[in-house]
Chain A
Amino acid sequence: MSTHIPAHDPLRALDPACSVVVEACAGSGKTWTLVSRLIRLLLDGVPPGQILAITYTRKAAREIEERLLHWLGELAVADDAWVGEFLALRGAARSDAQIARARGLLETVIRARPGLTINTFHGWFSSLLGAAPLSAGLGGMQLAERTARLRDQAWGGLMRRAGRDEDGELAQSLRWLLNQTGLGGTRALASALIDRRAEWEAWQAACGGDLDAVLAHLAQCFGADGADPLATLFEDAALRAALAEFARLLGQGTDAQQRRAVTLEKALGLADAAGFHAALRAELLTKAGLPTAFKPGRAMEKIGAAERTQQLFDACVERLLCCAGEVEDRAAYVLNSHALRAAVAMLDAYDQVKRAAGTLDFGDLEWHAARLLADPQTGPFVQARLDARYTHLLLDEFQDTNPLQWQVLMHWLDAYAPDQVQPRVFVVGDPKQSIYRFRRADPRIFAHARTAFAERFGALDLRRNETRRSSPAVVSVVNALFGAHPVFEGFAPHTTAQHGLPGAVTVLPPFGHDSEAASDSAAPAEAEVRDPLGTPRPAAEDSRRRREADAMCARLKAMAGRQTVRDPHTGQPRAAHYGDMMILLRRRTGLAVYEAALRAHGIPYFGASRGRLLDTLEASDLQALLRFLSAPADALSLAHVLRSPLFAFSDTQLLRLTGDGGSLWGALRHASDDAACTRAAALLSGWLAASVRLPVHDLLDRVFHQGELLARYAATVDAMAWPGVRANLEAFIELALRVDSGRYPSLPRFLDELSRLRDEDDEAPDEGLIQGEDPARGRVRVLTVHAAKGLEAPIVWLADAIARPRADSGPRVLLAWPPGDPAPTHLSLLHRKDSLGSVRQPFIEAEARAAAREDANLLYVAVTRARQFLFASGVSPSRGGDADNWLSRLAEATATGEGGMRDEQGGAHLAFGDVDEACEAPASSLPAAPVPDMPALPPIGERRPALALTDEQRWGTGLHAWLEALASGEPPPARATGFDAARWAELERTARGLVASPALRRFFDPAEHLWAACEIEFVLPDGSLGRIDRLVEFDDALWVLDYKSGGDGVHAQAYVDQLTRYADAVTAIRPGKPLRAALLRADGRVDILI
C-alpha cells in the first residue's frame, strides 16, 4: 500500500492499489482524474484487456479515449523532462525505468488484444449480448435505435387481437380504457411498460411470476380486496355518533348552521351507502375535495361548543377524506387491472414485431444483459467468451446510473469466482449534476455504491469541492445559491483553484410587457374586428421574450471585442469573442425568438440544433422536391420547390401558373415564354426521369450540381445565416447517403423514413455543423442546459430563467426501486395527477422530491458552466407566477454572495477582481476559402455497356474450354451459363469428335507431336499481347491453330490478318522452324491459311 499518500491527497484517487469513490464537483477535472488513473494502471503493468471504463454517453467515451491516446502519444515522443513532469503530476515515480515504460504505453495499448474497453453501458451491454451463447436465442439480433414504427405495428397488432375477440378480457379492458382515458391515454398507458421492460420483468418476478400475481399484489396494496369503503363509512358508528353530535350542536347555532344540521341529520337517515357518502361530501367537502370552510363562530362560543364543534368537524372531515382516499385507491386498482392487462398484451405484440424484424431495443438490451449475467450458467460463459475478466473497473458519471445498470454490474462482479483476483473499482461522479431522471437515472445509487464498494472492496470515500474552472465570483454565487437550498442536502461549499480569475455575476430584473408595444396594439374597440391585412394577431408572450432577447443580444454584442477574458487554454487575457459565449436555456420553448434576435443583431451563433435538421426550411425544401419527384401531381410540393431558392419564383409567377385551374406541373411545362419556367421545367423533368433509378443520394447530388443549389441559396439568405444553411444542406445529403444506402432503397421509402425520423425524439437527425469558422470571431453557442453538460465557457448567459420545470404528468409508470434492492418495491400505472389516492402518496411525494432536486441540479449545472461571467435573465410570467424560480434564487444568492448587491428593479450584481481591464480586439483573420482553381480535366473513364454474348460466341467459348480440358488432361469444364445439359453434351461430343478426328488427332495426341500448349499467351516487345488457342510443335514445323466456331466467310480477311500476326510472333519467339497456321472449324474442317 502506498501509505505515504495521505487519504485526503487528491492523488489518492489515482493509486492503482486503491478502490475509490470520488464525488467531484463541477469543474474539478473528472476526466483528467479518470484518464490519469488509466495511465497509472498501465504504468503499473495492468494489461489493457483487464481494464473496463464505462461512461454515460458515447461522446464522453470517445473523449476519454481521445485524451488517453493523445497523452500516450505525447509520452511516446516527448523528452525525459516532460515525461518526468507528467508522471510526477500524477503521483507516479519519475525513474528512468518508469519513463521508458511510459513511452511504450501507446503501443502497448494499441497492440493489446483484447484491448482496453472504454464504453457506455449500452455499448458494453451489446457486447455482452454479442457474446451470448447460441442457445440464448439472441443470434442475429440487431439493435434498433428507432422504435416508433415498431410500436405502431405493435399497436396495430394489439387492436387486431382485441377485435378478433370482442368479448375477451383484453378487449373489455381496452374498451374500458378507451372510454375512460381516450385513444391517446389508452395508447400511452398500454405502451408504458415498453420503456420499463426490465423493471416490469423484475417486478413481475418479485410479485410471483405473472400478471395475475401482480394484480393480486396490487389489489392488496390498494385495499381493493377489502370491504367497500363506502359501506364501511356507512357503518362507521364512531362517525355516525360524531355527526349526530355535531348536528345537534349546530342545531343551536345560526340559521346557516341550523340548515347544515338539518342536512346532516337527513344524511344520517339515508338508507344507502352511496347516498350517505354523497350527502356528506356535498356538505363537508368542496367540489375539489377539500374541506369546506367551517367556523364555530359566535353562536357556538355562546353555548361553549366552539372547541367541540371544531373538533367534531375536523374528525368527520378527516374520516371522509380517508374514505375518499380509499375510493381513489380502488379506482387506481381498477385502472391498473385494465391498463396492465393491456400493457402486457402490448408488450407481447411489440415482442412479436421485434422478433419478426430481428431487432432488439434499448430496454431489451438491459433486460437481456441482466438475465444473461444473473444466470449461473450464462454469466461465466459470457465472461469467458469475451475473454474479459477485468481487474479494474472505472465508472464515470456514476450519478446517471439506473437501478438496472447497477444490477447488471453487480451480477458481473458476482460472476467472479471467489478464488479469482477481485477487481479494483474507481467510481467518479457528482450527484449534484444528475439531470437524467427522464432516462431513469437514480442519483441515490451513488451513495449506495459508496457504501457497497467500501464494504466489498474497501473503497475510499473521496470528495472534491475545488473547481479548476470558475472565478471566485461564480463560486461565491454557487455557494450562496446551494448552501441555503433545502432540497440540496449535503452541499459542501466549493473552493476554486482559480484564485485570481476575475469574474462577475449579473442577474437582470425580470422582463415584463413593453409598455409602448402594449399601447401600439391596443385592443380594437369592442365592435371593431382586426383587419388581418394590416394588423397581425397580437402575441402577448412574445413581446416580453423579445425584450429579454434584445437586451441579451445588446449586452453580448457590447462585450465582443471589448470585454477582457482569460483564454481557457493559455490563461492569457484577451478580448472576448463570440466563441467565448454560451446561451443556456432550460427548454426549447421560445428558442425561435432568441435565435431571431441573434440574427437581427448580427451575432453569429450555433443553434440548439439537436434533432431539428428536418424542420429547417432548407431541409423541408429538399423534402418537398423529393415529394414532388415521387408524385408529380403534388402541386403544393411543386409550388414549395418553385418558391425555394432553387427556382425562386415570385408569388406573381405562381399566380400566373395557376391561372387556368389546370395542373401546376402541366402549366409549368407549357409556360415556354418565361425563362425561369423553362429552366425549372427542364431541370425538374430531368430529375423526374432520373429519380426512378438513381439512389436518392446521387439524385440529390445531381440536384445540387445542375440546380446550382449552393450558389442560389447563398444568394438568397443573408451572410449571417448562410453557414448554417449550408451545413444543413450538406447534412441532408449525408443523411440521404446513410438512410438510402440501406436495404431496398426507393424514393417513397426514403420519404417515409424521413417522416418517421422526424417524429423520433431521440433519433431525429441533427442540424449540420458549421465549418470553417474564423477562430478570432467564433459563434455564440445556444444550448439547452442538458446539452451543455460537460461544456464550459468564459461567458455564460442563462436565459428564460423564470420558466417553471415541466412537471411529471400524463400517463406513466410509478416506480419505487430503492437503490441496491434486487427488484422494485412498487410498480403501478398512473393516469393523471388527480385521483391519486392515499396508498401511493409516499411514492408520489418521493417523485416530487426527486423532481425538485433535479431542478436544482439543473440550475447547478447551468451556473457552473461559467468560467468568468454569468448572466441570468427571464420574463415575468403572464399570470402571478411562483416567487421561487431560478431567477429569484439567483438574484438572492448574488445579492447575498460576497460583495454582491441588489438593484431596485429586482436584479443583482456581484463582481470579483478587475473585470474591466481594457483589451484590444484582435483583427478578424478569416482566410477566404480558396475557390479551387482546377484546370479543366478531360473526361476520365467511360461506360462501356457489356454486350451480351451471341449464341455463336457462347458456343465458341464453350468449345475452347472443352478442347483445352481435353488437350491438357484436366477434368471436364463446368457447364457454362447459358447452356442446358443437352446442348452442353452436344458441345462435348463435338469437342471429343474434333480431338479424335483423323485430321486433327495429331494436334491433340501427345504421342504424335513434340510439344504443345493451349491458350498460350505471348507478349511482343511493344507490349502488345496475344493468345493462341493451340500451338503444336512437330519435327518439321510449328502449327498455330485457331478455333473458329462461326460460319464461313465472315471476317475472313480479319482472321487471316490475325493469324499472320500470331505466326510472326511465334517465329520471333521460336525461330528456326517453318510455321503453319490453320483455322479449326467446329465441324472438324481445317482451313490452312499459312
Chain B
Amino acid sequence: MSAAGLELLSLPPGPGLFGQVARILIGRHGDALADTDLLLPSMALAQPLRAALCAAAGRALFMPRLLTPDLLAQRWQGDHPTDPHSRRLLGLVAQLRRMGWLGEADLWSVARELIDLADALAEVPLQQEAELAATFARTHALHDSEALSLEARLVHAVWLADSTGTPGRARACAQALERAAAAATRPLTVLLDTLDEPPSWLNAWAARAPVLCLQVARGEGDDTLSRALAAAWPPPGQDAGALWSRAPSADDAAALRARVRLVAAQSLEQEAACAADTVSAWLAAGRRRIALVAADREAARRARALLERRQVLLADETGWKLSTTRAAATVDAFLQCLASDGYHRDLLDFVRAPYVAAGLERETRARAVAAIDDWVVRRNHVDGLHALLVDAADDLAGGPAAGLIALLADAAALMPTGNAPASFWLDRLLAAIDALQARDAMLGDVAGAQVIALLEQLRADSQGVALALSFADWRQWLNGEFEQALFRDTEIDSPVVLTPLAATRLRAFEAVYVIGADREHLAPPRPRGVLGHEGLRRELGLPDADAQATRLREDLAGLVLNAGDIVFSWQAQRHGEANLPGADLQVLDLMFQRAGVGSAIEAAPPLAEPPALAVIGVSSAPSLPPERVPQKLTASALADLMDCPYRYFARRVLHLGEEDEVEETLGKGSVGEKVHAVLLAFHTAHPRLALSSPEILADDLRRRFAEAFAGAIARNFQEHAWADRLQARAAAYVDWACAREAAGWLFEAGEQARSLSLTLPDGGALTLEGRIDRIDQGSGGRALIDYKLRAADRVKKAQQRDDLQLAFYTLLEGEAVSDAAYLALDEEVPAELAQAEPQVAAEALQSLLQRVFPALRAGAVLPANGDEAACQYCGMRGLCRKDWLA
C-alpha cells in the first residue's frame, strides 16, 4: 500500500473484530508493519490487538507503532504553549468581573461552563460575532432577546480568545494533531470506536500518506446474535419500522436471550449482593476477564466492598473526584477551620484528620485528640481561632495536645489575611501543609500524592495571574479544581475491572455485569445551559441528543456482542419510587416477548439470611455486688432512680454520663447558674430588704443581672433573651421578696451545701448530699426555696410526677423545716409552688431509702422501667435496649 488518500472501511463489532483488523493490517503492510502507525481509541486495546496480530501472522512480528490521539498530540506538542484550565478560569473570571455583565451570578460556574463550551467548539471553525448571534436567534426562534445576544457575545468572546490567544487544552491538542498530520510520512491506520465523522486532521495526513479508517459499526447482521440484536436495536441509519415488524426468528432471539439476563432488584443491597454473587460465580467457573460496568457508582461501590470481603479486588478504571478522598478532605479541614474561625466542630474534625502531624505515635495522638476534645468542652469553646490557639496552647502546655495546637498555629499564621493572587494562596497552602508535617505522609499514598501534585501544578499554572482573590473566593476556585481532578487508584492489578460504560468500547470480556441499568443512569447526557439547545448544537456541529442516544445504544450493543455473558441489573424502586430499566433494555425485552421467547426480566435472588447463631439474650435488670451499691445520693441521682432504676444504674453506678457538649448558646443550665449566683449575691448584700426602697433594690438587681450577662451578650446577641427578661422582671421579684419578708420570712442563707448520713437497717450507710438554693427563717420554722427557671405550670407538672426534690432537701435540712417550695421564675411575677407537709414527705422519703438501698445490697435488680416521658430524652436507651425488651 502506498498511495496517499483516505479510505474508510466498516467492520462489525464482536469478538472477531481484532482478528479482522489484524488480517487487514498484515494484508496491507506485510513486513512493513513496523513502519506504520496505528491509532487506537485507548491503550486498553493494545493488548488484544497485539495478540490478534501475532495470531494472524503465526510468527514473530514487529508491531506497528501503537498510539492514541492523545499520545500522538503529546508528541507533537513540542514547545507550543497551552493555557492550563485553571489559569484560563482565573483569567476569564477576572474578565467577567471587569465587564460586570452578569451581576451576582456565581462567576466560577459561569466561567467553567464557558470554557467547556470553548473546548467543545475547539474543532468547529470560528464564526463572526454577528453571524453567531444570528445563529443563536434563529435556532431559538427568538429575536431581539438581549439575554440571548449577551450569551452569543460571551460564547464568541471565549471562542475568539481560545483560537487567537494561547489555546486551551482541547484546541492545543487539535493543533498538535494538525502538525503531526502536516509532517506525516508513515501510513496510518485509525480504529474508530464511535460513529462520529473521522476528525478533519486525518485529511491532511491522507494528503501525505495513506490513511485507513476502520469504523466499527453494526451492519445487517449475519450471525444469530447480531440479527436478534438488530431486531431490538436497529443499527443506526436504518429505517426499520416498529418493533412489531422487526420480529426476529425465535431461534435468534433465544440465542441472545441465553446470554443476556435482566435483573430487577428491590434495594441497593440486593442489587449489590446480586452483582457480587454473580461475579464470584463467574470467577468460580474459571472466567477471568470480567467487567463490572458502573452505571450507578454507589451500587458499584457497594458491590466492590462485598467482593473485597471475598478477597476479590477490582481494578478501578472509573476514577473518583479527588475531592472525595480523605487527602483532599484533610486539606479542606484545615481551610474550613480558618474559614469558620476555629468553630469547634471544624476544629475537632481537623485534629482527627489523617496525615497531619504524621510523626506522632498513634497512642500519643489519640491522647492529644482526646485532650483537645476535653478542652473544647471544658472551655465551652464555640469559635474564635485566635483565642483557641493562644488559650489552648497555654492550658495544654506540656501535653501531647500542645504540639498539635502549635502545628495548627504555625500553619494558620502562614495563610494570607487579605486578598491575594491564587498562586500566592497556593504557595502558602503548600507551606502550611509542610508546617502541619503532613506532606510526607500525603506523598506516601496515592491520593495524597495526587493532592500534592495537583496543588503544585495549580501553583505553577496560576503563576502570573494577578487577579486578587479573597479567601472565600479562592477556596471556591480550589474546590472546583478538587471536584474536577480525577483520582484513580492504580495500584490494583486484577482481571476484574470496574469501569464506566464508555471505556468498554471494543473491548471483549468473558462476562460483563452492568450495575445500575435504570432509566436514570443509563441515559444519554443531557446538556444544559448555553449549549443546551438542540437546534443550536446541530447548527454548530456538536452532537445532539439523538447522536448521544445512538452512541449509548451502540455502546450497549457493542458490550452485548463482545461479552460472553452479560447481566444488567437495576433497582426497581429507589427511595420508595418506581425506577424503570433503561429504555433500550425495555425495548430489548419487548423484542424477546415479540419473538415469543418470553421476557428476560427476573427478580434478583432474595438476600441470603446470615448464618444462624445461638440465640443472644438481652437482659436489662442488673443487680449489684454489694460493694458497688452507691453510698452517696444527690437529689438528681434520686430523680434518676425514680424515673428509671436502670438509668440510675448506668449513670450513677457505671458513671456513664452523656458526653458534655459544647453549648453554642447559653443553655438553661448556665443561665440558671448565673441567676442563682445573682440572687445569692443580691440577698447577701441586702439581708433585710425593708431597709432599702424597692426602687433602689430593683435597680441593684437589674444591675447585677446586666453584669452577669454582659460577657455572654458580647459573645452572642441572642443572650439578651434572658438578660432583658430578667431585668424587666427584677421589680416584680423585689416586690415578691419584700412581701415575703414582710410576711415574716427572713432571708438566712443561700446555696447551702448540706449532707446527711443515714444508717440503714442492714447496717449500711448512705450519705445524702445537696445544695439548697435558699433558706429563710420564719417564726414557726425554716422555709426552703428551690429556684426554677421555668414557668409555673411546667414546674407544677413535674411536681405531680412523684417528685422528691423538696422532700430530699427537707430531709437534709432537718426538723426545723416547716415550709418548702419551688419558686418559678419564668413568670411575670414569681410563683411559689409549695410542698404539702414537707416533714411527712421527708419521712416517706427516708423510709423509701431505708428499704431501697438495703434491697439493692441484697441483690434487688434495677429494671429498665422508665415511662415514655422518662425515655424520650434518655441517653441510656442504647444500654437498656428497652426498644427490644418484650
CB–CB B861/A711 < 8 A:
no
Can you name 27 A-B pairs with beta carbons within 8 Å? A76-B244, A106-B590, A113-B544, A134-B110, A135-B105, A136-B105, A139-B106, A139-B113, A377-B146, A381-B142, A385-B140, A532-B865, A533-B856, A592-B868, A624-B878, A632-B366, A639-B654, A711-B610, A717-B884, A734-B269, A748-B348, A752-B345, A937-B312, A940-B494, A941-B313, A1013-B34, A1021-B58
Residue A1056 lies at the interface, judged by CB distance under 8 Å to chain B: no
Interface readout for A370-413 with B: 1 if CB under 8 Å, 0 if not? 00000001101100110100000000000000000000000000
CB–CB B106/A1013 < 8 A:
no
Please judge, given known A-B contacts A66-B578, A971-B79, A974-B74, whether A655 and B142 are in contact too, CB under 8 Å: no
Q: List chain A residues, Cβ under 8 A from B374.
A: 633
CB–CB B183/A715 < 8 A:
no
CB–CB A631/B863 < 8 A:
no
Q: List chain B residues, Cβ under 8 A from A160.
A: 717
Interface readout for B672-716 with A: 1 if CB under 8 Å, 0 if not? 000000000000000000000000000000000000000001101
Interchain CA distance A1041-B50 in the complex, whole Å: 23
Please judge, given known A-B contacts A106-B587, A113-B546, A1017-B66, whether A1068 and B493 are in contact too, CB under 8 Å: no
Q: List chain B residues, Cβ under 8 A from A542.
A: 867-868
A107, A529, A650, A766: the one contacting B804 at CB < 8 Å is A529
CB–CB B716/A159 < 8 A:
yes
Minimal beta-carbon separation of B655 from chain A (angstroms): 7
Residue B26 lies at the interface, judged by CB distance under 8 Å to chain A: no
Q: List chain A residues, Cβ under 8 A from B280.
A: 934, 937
B628, B721, B855: the one contacting A655 at CB < 8 Å is B628
Residue A65 lies at the interface, judged by CB distance under 8 Å to chain B: yes
Q: List chain A residues, Cβ under 8 A from B243.
A: 76-77, 103-104, 106-107
CB–CB B578/A744 < 8 A:
no
Interchain CA distance A708-B628 in the complex, whole Å: 34
CB–CB B62/A1069 < 8 A:
yes
Interchain CA distance A648-B65 in the complex, whole Å: 64
How many interface residues does chain A have, given as a range?
35 or more
Interchain CA distance A76-B870 in the complex, whole Å: 62
Q: List chain A residues, Cβ under 8 A from B881.
A: 617, 643
Interchain CA distance A1068-B62 in the complex, whole Å: 10
Minimal beta-carbon separation of B457 from chain A (angstroms): 9
Residue B844 lies at the interface, judged by CB distance under 8 Å to chain A: yes
Please judge, given known A-B contacts A65-B580, A175-B724, A655-B654, whether A941 and B494 are in contact too, CB under 8 Å: yes
Residue B794 lies at the interface, judged by CB distance under 8 Å to chain A: no
Residue B318 lies at the interface, judged by CB distance under 8 Å to chain A: no
Q: List chain A residues, Cβ under 8 A from B348.
A: 748
B112, B535, B844: the one contacting A527 at CB < 8 Å is B844
Closest 5 CB pairs between A and B?
A140-B109, A941-B494, A971-B78, A941-B313, A651-B622
- Chain A 98-153 interface residues, beta-carbon cutoff 8 Å to B: 100, 103-104, 106-107, 110-111, 113-114, 130-131, 133-141
CB–CB A934/B284 < 8 A:
yes
Q: List chain A residues, Cβ under 8 A from B847.
A: 529
Residue B98 lies at the interface, judged by CB distance under 8 Å to chain A: no
- Chain A 510-542 interface residues, beta-carbon cutoff 8 Å to B: 527-533, 536-537, 539, 542
Residue A182 lies at the interface, judged by CB distance under 8 Å to chain B: yes
Residue A838 lies at the interface, judged by CB distance under 8 Å to chain B: no
Interchain CA distance A355-B107 in the complex, whole Å: 12
Q: List chain A residues, Cβ under 8 A from B311.
A: 937, 939-940
CB–CB B576/A766 < 8 A:
yes
CB–CB A381/B145 < 8 A:
yes
CB–CB B587/A110 < 8 A:
yes
Minimal beta-carbon separation of B173 from chain A (angstroms): 12
Interface readout for B101-116 with A: 1 if CB under 8 Å, 0 if not? 1111110111011000
Interchain CA distance A106-B609 in the complex, whole Å: 40
Residue B420 lies at the interface, judged by CB distance under 8 Å to chain A: no
Q: List chain B residues, Cβ under 8 A from A356.
A: 472
CB–CB A929/B373 < 8 A:
no
- Chain A 922-960 interface residues, beta-carbon cutoff 8 Å to B: 927-932, 934-935, 937, 939-946
CB–CB A715/B613 < 8 A:
yes
Q: List chain A residues, Cβ under 8 A from B384.
A: none
CB contacts between A and B, total, < 8 Å: 507
Minimal beta-carbon separation of A652 from chain B (angstroms): 7
Residue B618 lies at the interface, judged by CB distance under 8 Å to chain A: yes
Please judge, given known A-B contacts A66-B580, A527-B844, A931-B609, whether A1018 and B60 are in contact too, CB under 8 Å: yes
Residue A654 lies at the interface, judged by CB distance under 8 Å to chain B: yes
CB–CB A137/B60 < 8 A:
no
CB–CB B302/A134 < 8 A:
no
CB–CB B606/A940 < 8 A:
no
CB–CB A59/B577 < 8 A:
yes
B332, B333, B659, B725: the one contacting A634 at CB < 8 Å is B659
Residue A997 lies at the interface, judged by CB distance under 8 Å to chain B: no
Interchain CA distance A76-B714 in the complex, whole Å: 73
Residue B615 lies at the interface, judged by CB distance under 8 Å to chain A: yes
Residue A737 lies at the interface, judged by CB distance under 8 Å to chain B: yes
Known A-B contacts: A171-B717, A701-B302. Give 14 more (CB < 8 A). Answer: A59-B576, A110-B583, A130-B532, A135-B147, A175-B720, A529-B802, A531-B852, A655-B654, A711-B612, A716-B616, A746-B333, A937-B311, A971-B78, A1016-B63
- Chain A 692-714 interface residues, beta-carbon cutoff 8 Å to B: 692-693, 695, 697-698, 701, 705, 708, 710-712, 714
Q: List chain B residues, Cβ under 8 A from A62.
A: 577-580
Q: List chain B residues, Cβ under 8 A from A945.
A: 491
CB–CB A743/B324 < 8 A:
yes
Closest to A176 in B: B724
CB–CB B532/A135 < 8 A:
no
Please judge, given known A-B contacts A139-B106, A139-B109, A532-B645, whether A929 and B549 are in contact too, CB under 8 Å: no
Stretch at the interface among B187-195, B349-357, B394-402: B349-357
Q: List chain B residues, Cβ under 8 A from A527.
A: 840-841, 843-844
Stretch at the interface among A236-244, A270-278, A768-776: A768-776
Interface readout for B517-533 with A: 1 if CB under 8 Å, 0 if not? 00000000000111011
Please judge, given known A-B contacts A73-B590, A141-B106, A937-B311, whether A380 and B145 are in contact too, CB under 8 Å: yes
**Best-surrounded residue of B148, B534, B863 (most CB of chain A within 10 A):** B148
B54, B59, B150: the one contacting A134 at CB < 8 Å is B150
Interchain CA distance A59-B574 in the complex, whole Å: 10
CB–CB A621/B878 < 8 A:
yes
Interface readout for A739-783 with B: 1 if CB under 8 Å, 0 if not? 001111111110010000000000000101101100000000000
Residue B586 lies at the interface, judged by CB distance under 8 Å to chain A: yes
Q: List chain A residues, Cβ under 8 A from B362.
A: 689
**Best-surrounded residue of A537, A645, A745 (most CB of chain B within 10 A):** A537
Interface readout for A605-621 with B: 1 if CB under 8 Å, 0 if not? 00000000000110011
Q: List chain B residues, Cβ under 8 A from A1046.
A: none
Q: List chain A residues, Cβ under 8 A from B607.
A: 771-772, 929
Interface readout for A718-750 with B: 1 if CB under 8 Å, 0 if not? 000100000100100110011001111111110
Q: List chain B residues, Cβ under 8 A from A1018.
A: 60-63
Minimal beta-carbon separation of A686 from chain B (angstroms): 13
CB–CB A137/B103 < 8 A:
yes
Residue B815 lies at the interface, judged by CB distance under 8 Å to chain A: no
CB–CB B113/A745 < 8 A:
no
Q: List chain B residues, Cβ under 8 A from A130.
A: 528-529, 532
Residue A69 lies at the interface, judged by CB distance under 8 Å to chain B: yes
CB–CB A528/B305 < 8 A:
no
Interchain CA distance A131-B145 in the complex, whole Å: 14
Interface readout for B789-821 with A: 1 if CB under 8 Å, 0 if not? 000000000000110100000000000000000
CB–CB A631/B373 < 8 A:
yes
Residue B292 lies at the interface, judged by CB distance under 8 Å to chain A: no
Residue A1015 lies at the interface, judged by CB distance under 8 Å to chain B: yes
Minimal beta-carbon separation of B619 from chain A (angstroms): 7
Residue A972 lies at the interface, judged by CB distance under 8 Å to chain B: yes
Interchain CA distance A745-B352 in the complex, whole Å: 12
Interface readout for A647-682 with B: 1 if CB under 8 Å, 0 if not? 010111011001101001000000000000000000
Minimal beta-carbon separation of B55 from chain A (angstroms): 9
